[in-house]
Every structure is written in structure tokens, then in C-alpha cells.
Structure 1
Amino acid sequence: MIKMIQELSIIIPTLNEENYIGKLLESLKEQEFLGKLQIIVVDGHSEDNTREVIDRYKSNFGDLIVLRVRPGVGYQRNIGVSRAKYKYILFLDADIILHRNFLNRFVRKINPEERQVTAAVSWIVEDDLWSRLVMAMMIAGGMVVCFFDPITPGGCLFTTQENHRLVGGFREDIIAAEDLDYGRRSINGGAKYHLILYPYVLHSGRRLRTVGALRLFWFYIKSYLLIKIYGIEIVNKLKYPFGKYGE
């Protein structure tokens, strides 16, 4: 019988996330994880009330660290890992919401003896039927792609300290798709890949609202194809339509 993970470091990069980080921390507070949790929020000098929202939750967690560093998702995640005290790492985006008992269900599906990258499917928090339909198309398309080209979305991404060290962490010189690059380097370096369909996480629909459902769908398809043709560095030449993290 596989032993369940008992210690987990959760790393959350933030930048202007006052409208979202509280919902994530609230959902983490409601978890009844059967083990020890360390929560590391790595803030990229937010200019809104992100830090104040986080401070309101400090008393709810026995081990919550808030770091303030220069912005950059890859850099922030790497800094978080440098302060992680547990072997197992879970990266979460700040606009994620976890279902009650998500962590226990999630880690039960993980073999703690494997060097791995494991992602959870995310579903948007939107009531709009059109947005949900487009999201379903993106998830279905992503699952098909994963059969021959594994995708590792960073919204909810699990790995180990060992794997992070062996691949040299996230690239800090690309403005997007650093999670895709991280997963590919991990898998090419010998890590196992898993995509967990359930339990899934809830993701805010802010990108859908910002750029529109079809435009977002097309952006992801175009970006994926360009990366396949020209390599990951092409992302720095793309017009990135999302603004800063919290927008």
C-alpha cells in the first residue's frame, strides 16, 4: 500500500491579487489535511491591498510565510521553493479555489516515491454558459494533446524538491508558458507525468472576461503551435493580452 504524503509546502506567487488571494486562503483554511502544511506566499511588490488581505489570514495557519521579491512568476516560484522545508511541493495560482478536502483527495492519487510533475485540471468559476462551453472545449483539447505532448498548467502543479533541483527550477527569462517549459524539461529529464481529472480546482474566469472566450481559445492554440515550431523563447515576442496577474 502506497503511503500518503504527510508534509506539503504550498507556494503561491502573487501580484495585485487583492480580489482573489483571500478566496484561495479561505479555501485552504477549510482544508482538513491529514498532515503538515507550509504555505509560502511570494509577493511581487503588489501595489494594491494583497498584503493586507494575506495578513488577515495569518492567524489561521500555523506555518504561513510571506516573502516580498521582484515580480516574475518563474522567479517567485523559485524563491518559494528555496524557502520550502518539505520534500513535496504544490504550486497554486492566486486565483485558484480548492474544494473542501481537495488536498487529501489529491495527495491520495500521488505516489510519494516517484519523481514527478502532476497537474490538476481546472474549471472556471463562471455562470456564463458560453464561457463554460469554451472552457470545456479547451479542457477537452488539452486532454487530447496530453496523450502525445504532456501539458503542465501551473495553476495547480505538484512536484518534488528533487525534481525542481534537477531541472534547475523555472526559467525566469520568459514571460509566459514557464509552467509548460518546466513540465517538458522535467519529463525529458526522467520525471513521471500525471494529469488528475478529479479532484479538480476552480480557477477565476478573469482571462475570459478580459479578452473574451474565443480570443482566449485562439491565443492558447496559436501560442502552443508557435512554441512547437520556434521554441519556448517565442513567448517573449507574443502580445500577451492578460496584463499583470491580478488584472
Structure 2
Amino acid sequence: MKTEISDSLEVSVIIPTYNEEPYIAGVVQSLIDQQFFGHIEIIIIDGDSSDQTVAIVNKMRELLPLNRSIVILSNPKRHIPISLNMGCQQAKSKLLIRLDGHTFAPVNYVMEVIKMLGADGSKRIICGGRIQIEPGTRALAAQAITLGVSHPVGIGNAMYRTMDGFDENCLEVDTVPFASFSKQLWMELGGFDEFLLYDEDSDFNFRARQKGCKVILNPRIVFTYFSRPTFSLLGQQYYRYGFWVSKFLVKHKRLPTIRKLAPITFLAALLVLGFIHIGLWQVMLLIYTVVIAVVSFREAVIKRKDWRLWLPLFLVFPTLHLSYGIGNLIGIATSISLPFQGKPFISYK
């Protein structure tokens, strides 16, 4: 819906990319199609992709409408927080929006951001939405992975992944995906912490909340996110999450939430029970296996009427839990042996 002020406004969208050939055209097109008639500056920070990511963006840049523009930056280090800081520094507008190279923005995204943050970003708010997760490919494993990373048993009570329906009520939360915020806030916080190669958004949101900002989940914003298509990529992704979440918690001397504590608690319990009594270890493992089997059967067979999904989904849950838990353990162990050295990248102030 067009507003009186929309034509005079400008927002900047920051998108770190690396080998996003299957998705990048859809990502850029989702920004071109926004119900926002002001100027959108699309800033792509590419990690020297070896596929056609940059070529696709360059081709689309030649056909842009007048109220859209694309800037391409290069970050050979490929670290996401570095890319985000590069993009935020480059941005010309007062309103900054973060997006990923495999996530499509809904057509109302920019308009909702302006409503939440104000036309000049003066409201001390970080705004994000919820995620509708789609398979990375048509393969059976990819479909099962999508179910697993959307299910509370797989990822806990992350509301931006598990909220059903279209509740209009905004919620104050700890963190949100694909956040929008003012450039002034980014400068005030000193940018994203470039030591945290993952979970940099949780760290940014945490520091913002310490400064009195609110982090708001707006359910009217629904992103389309494409999950990892294979078990190998899923395991790597959640290992990195677990590892860097530990670094974030050590940095801020925080205890994890119950959701983030569950995988490492389960893994630690298995290790301890294995030393105490093999029978206790077997009982706990049996209970876990039965619960996962029942949940997988309910989701795959009863809800979706597809027997083929049962076994892949049964394997998704332990892949999530074990990779995340192992990442936690190694992250904590390395923090003990090598104290945390990270700090906000204050040179961006």
C-alpha cells in the first residue's frame, strides 16, 4: 500500500552472499517487487563466489526500475559479520535491512519496517519477522530437513520458526532473523562483532537490548527461507551454530536458554551415564529413540500421509541435536583453553 511519505524515503538492504546461484535472482526480485515506492539500495557483499551469483546480479542490475539500485562489494574472507559491516558502512540510507542470499522477502517487508522503525529510523527498535521454511531441493531428504528445522523437537521454541497462522500481534523477543534497524544504532553499537563468525545477530540484538532497544517480532512479515538440502550440510550448519553460540554465551557471561541448553545437556547426560552404568545409558538412548520415532511417524505419516518421509525425518532430529551439542561442547572447551578475544568492531563508529 502506497503512503504519502514512501516516495521520498530510502532504505538499504544488506545481503552477504557466497555461491547463491540457485536463489539470488529470487532474492533480488523479491526486493524489486516490494510494495514500497521509495528507493531501495540493494547492497550485495559477495565472498568471491565460484558460481554465477555475481553474474546473475549484474544482469539484473541492467534491468532495474529507477527506484531500485544494486551495489556489489567483495569480501574474500567470506565472514558474514565482516560482510554485514561492509554493507552497513556503504549504505546511504538511515534504515538498514539485513537479508540472506537464500531468503525471499515478502512484498510488505519494507513497508512494515518503516511502520515499526519510523521513517527516519528514530524508534529504538530492531524488527524482524517469522520464517516459512522451504526445501532446498525436491529430494526426499531436503523435504524431511525442512520439517525437522521447523519442528519444536528439532529446534525448540524459536517462535520465528514455529509460529503458526497469521497472528497480527507483535511480540518482544530476544532475537529475530533478518533484522532491520537504523544506521545510527549500528554505529552506536560499533557494528557487528567480527570475531563471532556465526550468531553475530544474537550478539548484536543482545547489545542493543542492553542499550534499551526493543527487539520486535512482527508476524506480518513472513520470509521464505530455503533450508540446507543434505544431511551433511545440515550437520555442518548446526555444528557451527552450536560452536558460536557457546562463544557468544562466554563473551557475555550468560547462561543459555532452555532451548539452546537441551542438545548439550542430552549429549553430556549420555556421556556421564555411559561412564556410570551402561544400562542407564541404554535406557536414556532408548527413550530418546522412541520419542524421535513417534514424533517422526506423527509428522510424516499421520499429518502428511507420506511413509517415505518417516526415516529421513527420524534421522534429521539426531543430526540437529548431536551436531549442535558437539559444537557447544567444543566451543566451551576451546573458550576455556583459549579465552574469548572478541569485541565489537568499534572502528565503524
The interval holding the TM-score normalised by the smaller chain is 0.7 to 0.9
- Confirm or deny: 8 A CA contact 2:172 2:217 kept in the other structure: no
What's the CA shift for 1:96?
Answer: 0.6
Unaligned runs of 5+ in 2: 161-170, 254-326, 332-349
Deviations 1:69-128 (A, max 9, x none): 222111111111111110000010110112334332443344443122212211211383
2: CA distance between counterparts of 1:173 and 1:192?
24
Deviations 1:122-181 (A, max 9, x none): 12113836733641426770239xx8960233xx21011110001100111222111111
Deviations 1:194-247 (A, max 9, x none): 1112221011112x634487x699759956874575347997954xxxxxxxxx
2: CA distance between counterparts of 1:176 and 1:228?
9
Q: 2:95 aligns with which of 78, 88, 93?
A: 88
Q: Which has the larger radius of gyration?
A: 2
Residue identity matched to 1:209: T
Q: 1:193 aligns with which of 215, 230, 253?
A: 215
Instruction: Please say if 1:35 is aligned against 2:42.
Output: no
Instruction: Please say if 1:142 is aligned against 2:145.
Output: no
- Confirm or deny: 8 A CA contact 1:122 1:201 kept in the other structure: yes
1: CA distance between counterparts of 2:328 and 2:102?
22
Name the counterpart of 2:176: 152
Q: 2:250 aligns with which of 230, 236, 240?
A: 230
Q: By percentage of residues, which structure has more helix? A: 2
- Confirm or deny: 8 A CA contact 1:177 1:235 kept in the other structure: no
Name the counterpart of 2:26: 23
Name the counterpart of 1:167: 189
Q: 2:123 aligns with which of 107, 111, 114?
A: 114
Instruction: Please say if 1:53 is aligned against 2:74.
Output: no
Unaligned runs of 5+ in 1: 239-247
- Confirm or deny: 8 A CA contact 1:11 1:40 kept in the other structure: yes
Q: By percentage of residues, which structure has more strand? A: 1
Q: How does 1:67-78 map to 2 (within 5 A)?
A: 67-70=73-76, 71-78=78-85
2: CA distance between counterparts of 1:198 and 1:139?
22
Distance of aligned partners of 1:139 and 1:97 in 2 relative to their CA distance in 1, 3 Å threshold: farther
More displaced stretch, 84-93 vs 12-21: 12-21
- Confirm or deny: 8 A CA contact 1:97 1:201 kept in the other structure: yes
- Confirm or deny: 8 A CA contact 1:42 1:80 kept in the other structure: yes
Distance of aligned partners of 1:149 and 1:115 in 2 relative to their CA distance in 1, 3 Å threshold: closer
2: CA distance between counterparts of 1:135 and 1:96?
15
Q: What is the RMSD of the two structures over their aligned residues, measured on CA atoms?
A: 3.5
Secondary structure in 1 matching 2:179: strand
Q: 2:107 aligns with which of 100, 106, 122?
A: 100
Q: 1:63 aligns with which of 60, 63, 69?
A: 69
TM-score (norm 1): 0.78
Identity of aligned pairs, percent? 22
Q: 1:9 aligns with which of 4, 9, 12?
A: 12
Name the counterpart of 1:242: none
Count of aligned residue pairs for this structure pair: 232
2: CA distance between counterparts of 1:163 and 1:205?
30
More displaced stretch, 220-229 vs 126-135: 220-229
Q: 1:131 aligns with which of 146, 155, 175?
A: 146
Secondary structure in 2 matching 1:22: helix
Distance of aligned partners of 1:161 and 1:133 in 2 relative to their CA distance in 1, 3 Å threshold: same
- Confirm or deny: 8 A CA contact 2:11 2:41 kept in the other structure: yes
Q: How does 1:208-227 map to 2 (within 5 A)?
A: 209-211=230-232, 226=246
1: CA distance between counterparts of 2:226 and 2:133?
5
2: CA distance between counterparts of 1:134 and 1:23?
22
2: CA distance between counterparts of 1:174 and 1:228?
7
- Confirm or deny: 8 A CA contact 2:113 2:127 kept in the other structure: no
- Confirm or deny: 8 A CA contact 1:134 1:217 kept in the other structure: no
Task: Considering Cα pairs closer than 8 Å and 6+ residues apart, tell me whether 1 or 2 has the greater RCO.
Answer: 1
1: CA distance between counterparts of 2:248 and 2:194?
20
